[in-house]
Amino acid sequence: MKSELLKKIEDKSFVVGVIGLGYVGLPLLLTYVEKGFKAIGFDIDPKKPEYLAKGETYIKHIPSDRIAKAMATGKMTATNDFSRLKECDGVLIAVPTPLNANREPDMTYIVSSAEAIVPHMRKGQIFVLESSTYPGTTDEVMVPILERSGLKLERDFYAAFSPEREDPNNPDFHTANIPKVVGATSPDGLAVADKLYAQIIVKTVPVSSTRVAESAKLLENIFRSVNIALVNELKVAFMKMGIDVWEVIEAAKTKPFGFMPFYPGPGLGGHCIPIDPFYLTWKAREYGATTKFIELAGEINTSMPDFVVTRCMEALNEAGKPLKGSKVLLLGLAYKANIDDLRESPTFHLFEKLEDRGAIVHYNDPYIPVIPPTREHKRFMGRTSHEITNDFDLHVVATGHDVYKTYDFKNITAPIVDTRNIVKKSGGLVVKA
Ligand SMILES: NC(=O)c1ccc[n+]([C@@H]2O[C@H](COP(=O)([O-])OP(=O)(O)OC[C@H]3O[C@@H](n4cnc5c(N)ncnc54)[C@H](O)[C@@H]3O)[C@@H](O)[C@H]2O)c1
């Protein structure tokens, strides 16, 4: 099985399947096609294959012409028909891994995609999980479901885990030039998975097991979460001392070794940093291990929207106004600058907290003209981006979009609460938060 798969990869007759055509899966699919492989994308959302068939994008930073070009090669297909998994020699799975209502890992997407594979498995395939998850998911969750097909791991199919490191809209790093960690359940599986990724990626990093690969991804995200919590804590402390934390960071980062800058903000956002650390916390409990750093970082980071709301009240107070009944404009709904991704965005928490205290809240975001349906923030669905005008009592900069960095706030006379340190001059009071 190993030599046959390696040979197919070498002569590019290897057919790649990608399950889950979102922020991670779609670039993977495109990159394989661009490298000359036949690739089939699978998604349960019927709209995604329709868009792709028309050569159109549904993710802002992936341009339509890249999709149209890939479709024109005749090597790319996207479908809801999972029976076509039979055609694939390798299947990469990039489905969501959120937390459930109790903030525990929600495995339903991984489980349902593995279950969708089972009826269409054949001998001689490799299945690689890409979703961020706790150590043990590949061999404890995915493999037992796949073996319900009657096929046996290592004898009939291989399993591997390779975490995704996409940084959406980063001009310097994309699928092809970010080194990729790869772990498998056997040396043969590793040889195949490693070779498969080596076709599209500048450098693969083979590790001894799927668990090491799963853990490496969690370490990367926990590292960010803990360091962001640290600067958020320092922000609050320094503010009380009359010291600007952003200026402190700029000074500290001139140290050419042993320091890496992290920046404070209104809270964590995105699909990874607010969620992944708790995958480890949950799993560690099974082994009687505590993860105090992770819990503490989570506590500090989730308290940030409350801190910002307090700063809003202080800013309005300076203008002699109560929060209740004040008109507030939130600048930026996306969780990070210059993208349209609003998953886990802390702006939603500001929106809720300010509205719940009686403020009349609107948002502005050039990347999100209308708020689409989301799993958690249904009450905001359908609201539309409001232009930046002077008839608000308060403006809150929540996302560091470039358009705000270059915006002339001199005409804005109401107070501005700036959580991103980007407002240099305004017509009124600027309060950092
Ligand atoms: N977005 C990022 O920058 C990023 C970075 C690193 C890791 N990750 C991880 O990658 C995984 C995927 O994230 P994403 O951002 O691409 O998510 P996404 O929500 O953008 O895309 C997931 C896709 O999977 C589809 N899907 C859900 N269940 C399915 C099923 N059973 N069968 C087929 N398709 C199904 C959805 O319709 C959606 O199109 C997550 O585990 C995430 O934590 C994401």
Q: With bands split at pLDDT 50, 70 and 90, how would you rate the model's confidence at 170?
A: confident
185 lines ligand 1 (CB under 6 A): no
What is the pLDDT at residue 28? 94
Q: With bands split at pLDDT 50, 70 and 90, how would you rate the model's confidence at 175?
A: confident
What is the pLDDT at residue 60? 83
22 lines ligand 1 (CB under 6 A): yes
For ligand 1, atom 3: residue with the closest CA: 166
Given the residues 85, 190, 272, 397, select the one marked as catalytic. 272
What is the pLDDT at residue 133? 97
For ligand 1, atom 15: residue with the closest CA: 23
What is the pLDDT at residue 55? 95
What is the pLDDT at residue 125? 98
Cα→Cα distances 366→334, 336, 347, 387, 426, Å: 10, 13, 15, 9, 21
112 lines ligand 1 (CB under 6 A): yes
Q: With bands split at pLDDT 50, 70 and 90, how would you rate the model's confidence at 173?
A: confident
Choice from 52, 57, 62, 95 to test ligand 1 binding pocket (greatest atom count within 8 A of CB): 95
With a cut of 80, say whether residue 153 has pLDDT above it: yes
Compute the distance from residue 97 Cα to the ligand 1 centre, in Å.
7
Tell me the per-residue pLDDT of 331-358, one tens digit each, with 9 for 90 and over: 999 999 998 889 889 999 999 999 999 9
What is the arithmetic mean of pLDDT over 168-197?
Answer: 92
Averaged pLDDT of the chain: 95
Phi-psi region of 396 (alpha: psi -120 to 50; beta: other; left: phi over 0): beta
Partner residues linked to 395 by β-bridges:
329, 416
Compute the distance from residue 254 Cα to the ligand 1 centre, in Å.
37
Judged on CB neighbours under 10 Å (0-12, 13-18, 19+), 35 is: middle
What is the pLDDT at residue 217? 97
Compute the distance from residue 26 Cα to the ligand 1 centre, in Å.
9
**CA 26 to ligand 1: nearest atom:** 16
Task: Please say whether the dihedral angle defined by the alpha carbons of residues 335, 340, 410 and 390, taken in this order, is positive or negative.
Answer: negative
**CA 168 to ligand 1: nearest atom:** 3
First to last CA, the chain: 58
Compute the distance from residue 64 Cα to the ligand 1 centre, in Å.
20
For ligand 1, atom 35: residue with the closest CA: 20
What is the arithmetic mean of pLDDT over 94-98?
Answer: 95
Give the least confident one: 50-64, 81-95, 308-322.
Answer: 50-64
With a cut of 90, say whether residue 377 has pLDDT above it: no
For ligand 1, atom 37: residue with the closest CA: 45
Higher pLDDT, 128 or 101: 128
Task: Please say whether the dihedral angle defined by the alpha carbons of residues 58, 63, 64 and 68, taken in this order, is positive or negative.
Answer: negative
Compute the distance from residue 360 Cα to the ligand 1 centre, in Å.
34
**Structural tokens at position 246:** 């952003």
- Burial track 226-244 (b if 16+ CB lie within 10 A, e otherwise): bebbebbbbbeebbeeeee
For ligand 1, atom 36: residue with the closest CA: 20
pTM, entire model: 0.91
Q: With bands split at pLDDT 50, 70 and 90, how would you rate the model's confidence at 151?
A: very high
What is the arithmetic mean of pLDDT over 310-327?
Answer: 97
Give the least confident one: 56-60, 117-121, 139-143.
Answer: 56-60
269 lines ligand 1 (CB under 6 A): no
**CA 59 to ligand 1: nearest atom:** 20
What is the pLDDT at residue 271? 80
With a cut of 80, say whether residue 169 has pLDDT above it: no
**Count of H-run helices and E-run strands, the chain:** 14, 13
Alpha-carbon span 9 to 409, nearest angstrom = 55
94 lines ligand 1 (CB under 6 A): yes
Tell me the per-residue pLDDT of 210-257, one tens digit each, with 9 for 90 and over: 999 999 999 999 999 999 999 999 999 999 999 999 999 999 999 999
**CA 25 to ligand 1: nearest atom:** 16
For ligand 1, atom 26: residue with the closest CA: 20
**Structural tokens at position 149:** 């097909």
Q: Is 272 a catalytic residue?
A: yes
What is the pLDDT at residue 281? 95
**Structural tokens at position 208:** 């001894």
What is the arithmetic mean of pLDDT over 75-88?
Answer: 97
What is the pLDDT at residue 286? 94
